[in-house]
Amino acid sequence: MMKFPIHSLISASLVSTVLVGSAGVAQAQVRSFVPLNRYVVGGAVAEIIDASPDGNTLVFTNSGDQQVGFVDITDPANPQPLGTVEVAGEPTSVAVTPDGRYAIAAVLFLIDEEAGQTIADQQPGSLVFIDLATREIVGQVQLLGIGPDSVDISPDGSKIIVAIEDEEDTENPPGSRPGSINFVTINSDSPSESTVSAVEIDLSGVEGVNYVEDPQPEFVKFSPDGSTAAVTIQENNAIALIDVASEEIIRIFSAGTSSHVADLTGDGDISFTEEFEGRREPDAIAFTPDGQYLITANEGDTDLESFGDNIWSGGRGWTIFDLEGNVVYDSGSSVEELAVTRGQYPDDRSENRGIEMEGAAVAEFGEQAIAFITSERGSFVVAYDISNIEAPELISFLPTGLAPEGVLAIPQRNLLLTSNEDDGTIDFFEASTESASAYSPTAPLLLSPGVTLPFSAISGLHQVRNNPSSLYAVPDNAVAPSRIYRIEIEDSVATVVFALPITKDGEPVSYDLEGVTLHPPGGFWVVSEGDDREGQEAPNLLSYVNGLGEVQQEIPLPEEAAGAITRFGFEGVATNPEGTKVYVAVQREFEGDPANTVRIAEYDLESQTWNYYFYPLDTDNVEESWVGLSEIARDTDGSFLVVERDNQGGVNGSANARIKRIYRVSLADAEPGATLEKTLVLDLLSDYDWIEEKIESLAVTEQGYWFASDNDGGINSTRMLFVPRQ
């Protein structure tokens, strides 16, 4: 396992004294959360998390490797791995007993498709008891149902509640096997002798449910006093309350719908102008500290076409209910609008469930109640002060690793954690009594002033002429029509202040832009990456755009070269000082070229011909990954800087990232066809903890170099970094 402290992102002066433990609680309120660390687990997945009562040992599920993992977080800025335990199945959830004796994981029985097994052969799941001190399995209990999901342990440590979801057929609900709730009475001295009982969920007569015969409970949570348990029945858009002593259902109520404006069209153009109504279909649920209200993350889980009423799936936000099922507060479009201003709204999810709020937790920091809700598709967590239950106040919007699934507050240690399923990371945040920030002049927050100026997918940068505090940027094809952004940088904030539409023959045009540079006489050169896949057939193009955003010239590769360069093509653009030649970085090898060698293409404006130079790639990447170029920029001395990266990080796992490097090459004395010599300038992974997959932008200034990540159309945050000249 590896850890990547975010020291390079946080100004030391901003990590102020933090406030409140359980002992000697200060009365100052939390005003912000700031990042401490992004910890990379050894496996591919970190899904659900819990901690020991003292908050020093973290437990997480790794469903991809069928393991439960352990981390010493005594020093949260420097977590230490404590090993893993194989659980012989997919761990779906984990919780630690209040006495700290056991970590208890729900384990899904897996079917062997290669042996011809089908879902009909699936067996009941189990609870696995792991001794927290020795990290050894000391008992197992078979559950009374197939497909366990969420688990929670009562505050007194006597009972476990388990959601038996039994997703028999996720594509064609309802299934023939109804899910249920299991209660497990813990035998602490002999865990395998713990007893299990089942509570059937009868949805008949409940208004507004979708599948009366197939409950599919999703998430469970005990109330703070342990007297009541809440259950989300996600696919049925319902919530059940259970009396714990009698193990009987008190009531079931519909979660109803949320109505507000939204973007419902995944066309690359973010616009919150369409009327929206969506079944909330909540995933995670949490009680407020007084036990009087419920917080839900309204992810959604069905299809728009499922019921023929044109009501969407998922509320695209979060809701507070009272225990009678009345809505006390609904976030409406506010969280999605926040995501737009941070560039973290995934437009291609607009026709599905938007940002998909999934995880939820509530905790008291001192006497202050705070709700935390995660966005799976936008990769962030929001923190709200819910002291006024009808009017929550935003405390922090915090980018996380990719697809946060679990969220855990540890108030006695002033900590907030998220476990991020898609990139195998765990984020650590610290509570502060100051309005602190993770951002600094060398690592600014990139945002826009409002939803009417959205941005995303930054894939090319260039300094505005004679202004080192201003940058031009272009997005790739996640944004349409194409545009050129202008970014103004002041202190710790970089603001998108303008978007110049790109037109051709008077009509908006959509490219897959991967680089931008100024043409010395005026205007811009941009490059669009080609795609030879069926249905795409887009050529690689070098285009000249004037200062009004009008395309004046499109220059393709010669036919022979165009046939040899395939999907991973043009990725960056630069010129010589005179503007007589334009240079293009090509991401991957041409067909027929030597392995681990890519081309830098040169277009001579006078002769209108292409020439090529060969660039040798690094090969210390992990097996079955690729390495290529992502950017080229001319430095002040006339040499060229290139961004060389692997395709690891992100969905391919942050633990696999190896190559995020900046090299210098000179073309001054090189003849076309020559293999260039390269000199390492920066290793962003080792020097700046750059584990983000797509380092795709580089802008040169007199003072140093700006870098930015491509956030793949809003699925995570855009990281900006300035490195001064040495």
Tens of pLDDT, residue by residue over 492-516, are 999 999 999 999 999 999 999 999 9
DSSP for 27-64? -PPP-EEEEEEEEEPSSS----EEE-TTS-EEEEEEGG
Task: Tell me the mean pLDDT in the region 705-725.
Answer: 97
Instruction: Give the pLDDT score at 24.
Output: 34
Q: Provide the pLDDT for residue 18.
A: 47
pLDDT reported for residue 1:
42
pLDDT of 26 above 50: no
Q: Which of 165-174, 331-340, 419-428 has the lowest mean pLDDT?
A: 165-174
Query: Would you call 589 helix, strand, or coil by DSSP?
Result: coil
- In this structure, what token pair is assigned to residue 529? 């990456």
What pLDDT sits at residue 29? 95
Tell me which amino acid residue 688 is.
Y
Residue 16 has pLDDT above 70, yes or no: no
**Cα angle for residues 573, 577, 582 (degrees, 5° grid):** 30
Cα 648 to Cα 40, 280, 378, 470: the distances in Å are: 13, 35, 19, 30
Please give the biggest Cα pair distance in the chain. Answer: 86
Q: Strand 445-447 to strand 493-501: parallel, antiparallel, or no bridges (unpaired)?
A: parallel
Whole-angstrom CA distances from 399 to 75, 362, 428 are 22, 19, 11
In this prediction, residue 19 carries a pLDDT of 52
Closest Cα to residue 106, out of 123, 89, 120, 92? Answer: 92
Interval 227-236: pLDDT, tens: 999 999 999 9
- What's the rounded mean pLDDT across residues 210-234? 96
Give the DSSP H or E segment for 527: strand 524-528
| The one-letter amino acid at 231 | V
How far is CA 270 from its chain centroid?
19
Residue 46 scores a pLDDT above 80: yes
Single-letter amino acid code for the residue at 348: D
pLDDT range class, residue 403, cuts 50, 70, 90: very high
pLDDT score, position 118 = 77
Lookup result for tokens 């419902």: 264
The answer to whether 499 and 483 are in contact (CB under 8 A) is: yes
pLDDT value, residue 301: 93
Residue 375's beta-bridge partner residues? 357, 380
Residue 99 has pLDDT above 70, yes or no: yes
Q: Does residue 632 register a pLDDT over 60?
A: yes
Cα atoms found within 13 Å of the Cα of residue 80, Cβ hemisphere only: 5
The pLDDT of residue 44 is: 67
Tell me what pLDDT residue 173 has.
Answer: 76
pLDDT at 281 over 80: yes
Burial of 239 (0-12, 13-18, 19+ CB in 10 A): buried
Mean local confidence (pLDDT), 187-212: 95
176 contact partners, CB below 8 Å, separation of at least 6 = 168
C-alpha 164 chain-centroid distance: 27
| pTM of the model as a whole | 0.94
**Does the pLDDT of residue 2 top 60, yes or no?**
no
453 pLDDT higher than 90: yes
pLDDT at residue 517 tops 90: yes
Q: What is the mean pLDDT of residues 197-205?
A: 95
pLDDT tens by residue, 109-143: 988 888 888 777 889 999 999 999 999 999 999 99
Mean pLDDT for all residues in the chain = 93
Beta bridge partners of 372: 361, 383
DSSP reduced 3-state for 349? helix
Ranking 169-178, 317-326, 431-440 by mean pLDDT, the lowest is 169-178
End-to-end CA distance of the chain: 32
Radius of gyration of the chain (CA): 27
Q: Which residues pair with 360 in a beta bridge?
A: 373
CA dist., res. 666 & res. 653, Å (int) = 34
Q: Is 487 helix (H, G, I), strand (E, B) or coil?
A: strand
Per-residue burial over 665-686, b if 16 or more Cβ lie within 10 Å, else e, is bebeebeeeeebebeebbebbe
Give the number of C-alpha atoms closer than 13 A to the C-alpha of residue 143, restricted to the C-beta side.
35
Q: Minimal CA–CA distance to 251: which of 213, 281, 294, 283? A: 294
Question: Nearest CA to 187 among 148, 126, 138?
Answer: 138
pLDDT band of 20, cuts 50, 70, 90: very low
Structural domains in the chain plus CATH codes: 445-724 (2.120.10)
Residue 565 has a pLDDT of 86
Three-state SS sequence of 101-139:
CEEEEEEECCCCHHHCCCHHHCCCCEEEEEECCCCEEEE
Predicted local distance difference test score (pLDDT) of residue 535: 67
Instruction: For residue range 686-697, list pLDDT tens digits in order.
Output: 999 999 999 999
| Burial class of residue 716 (count of CB atoms within 10 Å of its CB; 0-12, 13-18, 19+) | buried
Task: For residue 502, give the amino acid letter.
Answer: I
For residue 170, give the nearest of 149, 151, 198 by alpha carbon.
Answer: 149
Q: Sorting pLDDT into bands at 50, 70 and 90, what band is 22?
A: very low
| E-assigned strand segments in 379-492 | 380-385, 393-399, 404-410, 415-420, 425-432, 445-447, 458-464, 467-475, 483-490
Q: How far is CA 714 from CA 261, 345, 456, 457, in A?
A: 19, 5, 6, 7
Task: Report pLDDT digits (tens) over 565-592.
Answer: 877 999 999 999 999 999 999 999 999 9
Instruction: Read off the pLDDT band of 456 (50, 70, 90).
Output: very high
C-alpha to C-alpha distance for 316 and 334, rounded to whole angstroms: 9
pLDDT at 486 over 90: yes
423 vs 712: CA distance, rounded Å: 14
The helix or strand, by DSSP H or E, that contains position 158, with its residue range, turns out to be none
Amino acid at 170: T
* Most confident option among 206-220, 319-333, 531-545: 319-333
Confidence of residue 395 (pLDDT cuts 50, 70, 90): very high
CA distance 656 to 625: 9
Which pLDDT score, from 0 to 100, does residue 722 have?
98
